[in-house]
Structure formats: C-alpha cells, structure tokens
Structure 1
Amino acid sequence: PWVIKPLWSPFVDLLRTKRFWIIVMQLAIGGSLACVALTLPANNFVRYTLAMFWIMAFSSATHDIAADGFYMLGLSTPEQAAFVGVRTVFYRVATIASKGGLVILAGTLHQRGYPVASAWSVTFVVVGAFFLALCLYHFFILPRPEADRSAPLDKGRGVVSEYFRIITLFFRQKDILIIICFFLFYRFAEAQLVKMVAPFLLDAREKGGLGLSTAEVGWIYGTVGVVALMLGGLLGGYVIYRNGLKFWLWPMVIVMHLPDLAFVYLSHAQPENLWIIGAAVAFEQFGYGFGFTAYTMFMIMVSRGEYKTVFYAIGTGIMALGMMLPAMSSGWIQEKLGYIHFYYWILLTTIPSFIVTALVKIDPEYGKKASG
C-alpha cells in the first residue's frame, strides 16, 4: 500500500483533519492487531489473519500520509529540518521493536510452555493494546495546529473532480521531471546495495561472502549499523537546520556514496575481524543516514503549498518505487557478477545520483534557521 498510497491521499486532505486521520488509523491498527490475536487459534486462521493484515497495511499507509502532513503543518521549515533525523531514529526504533522485540516476546512465551499460536496471540494482544493506548494518548495530547484543516473544495467541483485536480497539480509543478528523477535516482545505488548487505555478510567465503553467523549479522547490521544510521540522520537534520539544505546537499550526496567503497574493500579482503567488518558497515550506514536527510528535506520542499499532504504522499510513493525497482534486480545482478564486481557496479550506479543532484534547484535559505 505504501507505493500506491498517493491514490487515496487526496481524500485525507479533503476529508477531515490530519489529526483526525492519525487517531482513527491508530484505532484501526490497534483493532486489527487485536483481531489477529483472536483469529490465530482458529482452524482457518490464514484467511482471517490475511484480511486483518490487509486492513492493517491500508490503515498504516493512511496513517503515514496523515502523520507526514501533520508534521509539515505543525512545524516551521527549520523545525522540520531539525527534527527530520529524530523521525529516522524513531522509525528505526520501531523497526527494531517490531522485527526483534516481538519475535523475542513470542519466543519467550513459547519457551515457557505456550503453544506457538497462543504465544503469538498474546504478542499481538500486547501490541494491539499498545496502539490503542497510543490512540487514547494522542486523542488528548496531540496538538491542534491552526493550519490542520480540510482542504477547501473549489466551487462547483465535486470530491471526485477535486481529487483529480489535486493529483494533477503535483505533476504541473515547475521542473517536475527533474523532481521525479531526483526521487527515483538519488538512492539508485543504495537501493541495490542495502538489499544485498545481509546476503553478503551471511554467504560462505567460497561464494564471495563473509561467512558470518546469523547472530553476528544481527549484531553488526541490526545493531551497530542501525545506531550508525540513526546518528547520521540526527547529524544531517542538525546541519541542515544550521546552514540550509542547499549548503549541505553536495556534501550529503558525497558522504552517502563514498562509504560504498567500504564494501569494495570487504569483498576483496574478506576480513575475519568483526571489528573491521562492523566499522565498514557502520561507516556505510552512517553515510546513508546522513545523505538520506537531504532526500527527506527535498521531498518536504517540493510538497509546499495548499495540498502538501498529498504532494508528500506522492513523493514518498515515487520514493518507494525508486527503492523497490532497483532492489528487485540487485540479487540477479549479484549472481551474474559476483560480489566483487557487484560492488564495482554499485560505484558505477552512483553516477545518476550525482547527475540529478546537479540538476535540482534549491533556495539557499530553505531549511535554515532564522538568523538572530
């Protein structure tokens, strides 16, 4: 749903406030999680859980639209720059909690005698209760920005015609082809590299990999790498807040791609020292987090205007497409080239990123805190 969420994003702008959508979608996600917990012990649980997961995914994508819009409406541009790294941190914390914490909880319950279905039911109950508590908390605590209101309908237009008008407004922006190319190609190399990091670390040495255990990969990539990524994002947000996006755009694109050389080294040397491997992964992830900040701020920049929520949703949809398509082919390319030549290929595919960076136009003051 995250790739196609721009299709219904205008309705989030046209119908009710972003605050309303955030709270309702959290309620829907919490309810869906609770329903999954109830259906897991059933005989035909697959059908019901798939339906609940579909509702959950749709609700999550809609929540994403509303939360991004609320972020832009509730904060000034310099504040958006300052906190963009914080957003990345909490996204990564949520990823670790969902992919690691929930599995650990379910596994612990199973070890203590719970059947597998019951262990996961309890886990989903806990997560569902957490989301419902968040919904209640945000109902009372979430601010009510004056700018957070339904987008006005043009006189004489219905919701459907207004829907198509808003969508077309995004694609009628000045330099829209350059903007779309930036969305698609800024992370063209990273989309391929990130997809193959875990296989490279896990694959046997005779296959060109580093032959690490699952636990070692979890520690290096899932812990050290994530911490480095978050630190890069935090630093990126801070420096844009200090000097603006234009000032830091080129340093960020360079810092994002320069660490790709670390994987060229790893593929050649195949070191066994975990500190060396961890340092190389941390170097690459820090650069990625730092450089991705510029990408996020550029999306916010081109989403200015009356329909910023819709525009940002379209941008993130194109962004998801720009990650998905290169990643789909990365495994096939690696199999054909081998790891050493694959990482040389990654260096070659950084060129489109530098080209689109040279083409975009950015106000020198954008993202910078007000002087004085």
Structure 2
Amino acid sequence: MSETIPDQPSDSRKPPPHSGVNLSANAPAPSPADRPGWAQTLRVYLEAPTLRMLLLGFSAGLPLLLVFGTLSFWLREAGVDRTTIGFLSWVGLAYGFKWVWAPLVDRLPIPILTRLLGRRRSWLLLSQTVIMASLVGMALTDPKQSLMPVVWCALAVAFASATQDIALDAFRIESADTPRQAALAAAYQTGYRIAMIWAGAGVLWIAARAEVPNAGAYQHGAWQTAYLAMAASMLVGMLTVLFSPEPAARVLAPARNAAEWLRTALVDPFADFLRRYGKQAALILGLIAVYRISDVVMGIMANPFYVDMGYTKDEVAAVTKIYGVIMTLVGAFLGGVLAMRFGVMRVLMLGAVLSAATNLLFAWLGSRGHDVQALIFVVSADNLSSGIASAAFIAYLSSLTNINYSATQYALFSSMMLLLPKFLAGYSGVYVDAYGYSNFFTATAFLGVPVLLLVWLASRMKSPPRP
C-alpha cells in the first residue's frame, strides 16, 4: 500500500521571506506593521499554483449545479413535483459522507495511473472521467418518461464529484504555504463560480436555443444537447491535471499488515485532529456543521421558485447564473483579500451575518411577483455575501488541517459542512408546499442565527500551531 512521490525541493512548503500573514485557525488579525502591501497581496493571484487552482476550481464547480440547481429547474419543467425535487436533493449527501472514502483517496494508489501521474493527479483524473461519463448518461435519459435512470446517473456524478473534491482539496493545500491558502481559496472559488455560470446560465442558454419552436414547453432534446455540452466541458479540468506538476508530498511508509494500514489511513487523521484541539474540537466541528446552513437549505428551492414565479430560462440565466455569479466572484476575491489583510475569523463573522440576512430578501422577492429588477437586486446581495463567506470558510478549514492528512481531514470538515444542511434541505419542498416560499425563506434566515454565536466562540479559542 505504499507509493513513492518524487522528491521536491526541501523548502517547497516554507513561506517566502516576509510573507507576513498567518492564517491558522485562530491567529490574531495581522497588525498594520505586519500586513503585506496591496501590490504584494494582489501579486499572489498571478502565481502558477493560483492559476492552476482557477482551472481546477472550474472542474470542481461544474458538476454541482448539474445534479442540484440546474437539475431541479429541468425536473420542475418536466412536471416533477416540488416534494420529489426536495427529496432528490439528498443525492448531495454523497458530499456529506465523502470522509468515509477520503482515506482511500489520501493513501491508496491507483494501478498504473498513480505511477504515471502521482497520488493526487491520478485520483483527480479518474473522478473527472467518471463525471463526464455520468453526465452523458443523464443527457440520454428523459426524466419525464423515467426518473430513476436520471437519479442513478446523478448519484454517480455526485460520488465522483465528491471524490474529485477530496483529491483537489489535498492538491490545493499541498500546493502552497499557509499565507497563500486564502488566495488559492479565492482562485478556487473564482473558477468554481465561473463553472457555475456555465453549468447554470450555459445550460439554460443552450437548452433555450436548442428548443424547436411551437413544439411544447418541455423538450427533452434541448436538455440533452445542453448536458452533452457540459460533459465535454470536463475536459478543462482533465487537461489541467495532465499538465500540472504533482504537489510536494511525503513518502508514505509501507504498511506491514492490513490493520496497520487501516490505522494510519482511517484512525490517525481523526485522532490527530482530536489530539491537537482537545475539547475545542467539538466547538470547531459544530461551527463547520452549521456555517453554511442558511444558504444550502434555501438553495434547493431557488430554481423551482424561479419557475413558479414565471421567470423564463433567459431571465434566470442572465440574472442568477451570470450576473449573480459575477457578484459571487467579486465576493470571493474580496473575501480572500480581506482575510489576508484582517484575519480569517473577522471575515468569517461578516460572511455569517450577510448569508443569513440576505435570505430575508428572497422572502421579500416572493411578494413582488414577476419583477426582474427586484430579482437583480436580491441576487446581487445574496451572491456577494456568499462569495465573501465561502472564501473565508475555505481558508478557515484549510488552516485546521495537518499536512500529513490533508485529504482525509479536509474531507471530514467539508463533509460536515454539508451533511446537516443537505439533510434538512430534503424537506424543503414539503415546507414550501405547506407554508409557501416567503415563510420558507424567512425560516432559512433564522437558521443562521446560532452560527453567529459559534463563530464568536471559535474566535476566542487559542489554536495550536499548524503542523
């Protein structure tokens, strides 16, 4: 079960001279004297690891909407009821349980591929291939005629996408020193959101253009064309993997038996986290579990909401999938810069406040009817807030990991981030059918209130130094 990673320069993980910023979980905000200049701060976005993370972020962001947001629009247009759409969001629980197989991705070599590409890139390429094949399967199936094949293909996309996330998170963490993690997180989010423009607006735009005039409101052929185009778009990530260097990694000692391998792969990563944080671990895990709960629970019903409010494919594509995502990119960039300048925990609190508050705007939007101008305003505020929160949260999660177990520990954190929210989101359709959209959006805003207390408590913790 061992593998050898080519030697890298011994100082490949050392921070550059005068890097000046410590983004460990509870590091104090940098003092004005220690803060890097704006030019030095912005220059990190032009470095090769940051640019690679932009392209790999695209590969990571592409599958998500295709099995959640855009799929819910497709299913609603095909006549699938809101309750069923809500329960189908449980496909996303694959992301919530990825920590189960993360140790395999962290340590298990893939025959031939790992020898040729290295540990991280081999798992990235394999998962991307499965995503592409499964998207083709979704494209060739009509949910109006048979829903289950679409569900099975969506499950395959979700599991492969979660596996890609495991390998990619480790790839990102191992590709740069701690001070640059916020910038890599921002670049990742930028690529991720660009992919969401393509997987959101692009799908709707392609489907709208592929429709045959006067052939009915729902046409499977149009959606088939759109999803085949999305499958081909996975080539961006696959080519990036092939032309990227394998990040520096330590040689894994061979396990003497299966029990020792299970201990080092499964037990040690979790024991390391509990040992380093002790009683504080419960608070950290609680914060991770609920930080994005407002956005995730609300997001499942966003596209059915747009359909039921009478917005067209072109309107949704232009406002929510292009303009809105651009605002998220601005928020991600701003969040990364603010985290480097003022510390992660302060921006984490700002993101928590904004994420909860902007859900109330959707409740207001539900009372406006078909109002495109109001939609633009609400989507702008919501996506800007989401970008700030996401960049800070990714940097926070990265700061908690031990480089020796980066894939497994980050998978645990990011899985916990989605597990409870995705479970609650499964009942979102039932709630909307019973109480209406406005009450639903208001309720999701109040879900974010406990998050503020947890961020405040976490900011007061004394964090151990990152290994």
Cα deviation, residue 183, structure 1: 1.6
Among residues 179, 184, 200, which one is paired with 1:78 in the alignment?
179
Shift of residue 225 of structure 1?
2.0
The one-letter code sitting in structure 2 at the alignment partner of 1:19 is R
Distance in 2 (alpha carbons) for counterparts of 1:48 and 1:342: 30
2:324 is equivalent to residue 225 of structure 1: yes
Q: State the Cα distance separating 1:101 from its structure 2 match.
A: 3.1
* Post-superposition offset of 1:238: 1.4
Letter aligned with residue 194 of structure 2: V
Q: Does 1:169 align with 2:271?
A: yes
Equivalent in 179, 183, 206 of residue 284 of structure 2: 179
Conserved 8 A contact 2:102-2:411: yes
Equivalent positions of 1:90-109 (< 5 A) are 90-102=191-203, 105=206
How do 1:69-148 residues align onto structure 2 when only pairs under 5 Å count? 69-102=170-203, 105=206, 120=224, 124=228, 131=234, 134-139=237-242, 141-147=243-249
Out of 249, 252, 256, the position equivalent to 2:351 is 252
Name the Cα RMSD after superposition. 3.9
Judge conservation of contact 1:15–1:150 (CA < 8 Å) in 2: no
> How far did residue 316 of structure 1 move?
1.5
5+ residue gaps in structure 1?
A: 205-210, 367-372
Higher helix share: 1
Alignment correspondent of 1:296 = 394
Q: CA deviation at 1:271?
A: 6.4
Q: Which residue of 2 aligns with 1:189?
A: 294
Could you tell me how far apart the structure 2 residues matched to 1:344 and 1:154 are?
53
Amino acid at match of 2:262: V
* Counterpart residue type for residue 393 of structure 2: Y
Q: Evaluate the alpha carbon distance shift between residue 216 and residue 239 of structure 1 in structure 2; reply closer, same or farther with a 3 A threshold.
A: same
Give the secondary-structure state (helix, strand or coil) at the position aligned to 1:307: helix
Q: Give the distance between the partners of 2:294 and 2:227, measured in 1 at CA.
A: 37
Matched-pair contact (CA < 8 Å) for 2:204–2:314: no
1:13 aligned to 2:73? Answer: no
Letter in 2 for 1:220: V
Report the residue type matching 2:334 in the other structure.
L
Alpha-carbon offset, residue 324 of structure 1: 0.4
- TM-score norm. by structure 2 comes to 0.63
Structure 2: runs of 5 or more not aligned: 1-93, 110-118, 214-218
Report deviation, 1:252: 2.6
How many residues are paired up? Answer: 351
Match of 2:60 in 1: none
Alignment partner, residue 370 of structure 1: none
Give deviations 1:308-331, integer Å, cap 9, x for gaps: 110111111111213302322333
Is the counterpart of residue 318 in structure 1 residue 416 in structure 2? yes
Is the CA contact (8 Å cut-off) linking 2:208 and 2:313 kept in structure 1? no
**Residue 2 (structure 1) aligns with:** 95
CA distance in 2, matches of 1:335, 1:30: 34
TM-score normalised by the chain length of structure 1? 0.77
Partner SS state of residue 144, structure 1: coil
Letter of the 2:345 counterpart: K
Distance in 2 separating the partners of 1:284 and 1:213: 20
- Residue in 2 that maps onto 1:241: 340
Deviation at 1:27, TM superposition (A): 4.3
1:365–1:48 distance in 2 versus 1, CA, 3 Å = closer
In structure 2, do the counterparts of structure 1 residues 145 and 200 end up closer, same or farther at CA, with 3 Å as the change threshold? closer
2:446 to 343, 348, 353: 348
Partner of 1:59: 160
**Distance apart, 1:91 and its partner CA:** 1.5
The alpha-carbon distance between structure 1 residues 153 and 168, as it changes in their structure 2 partners (threshold 3 A), is: farther
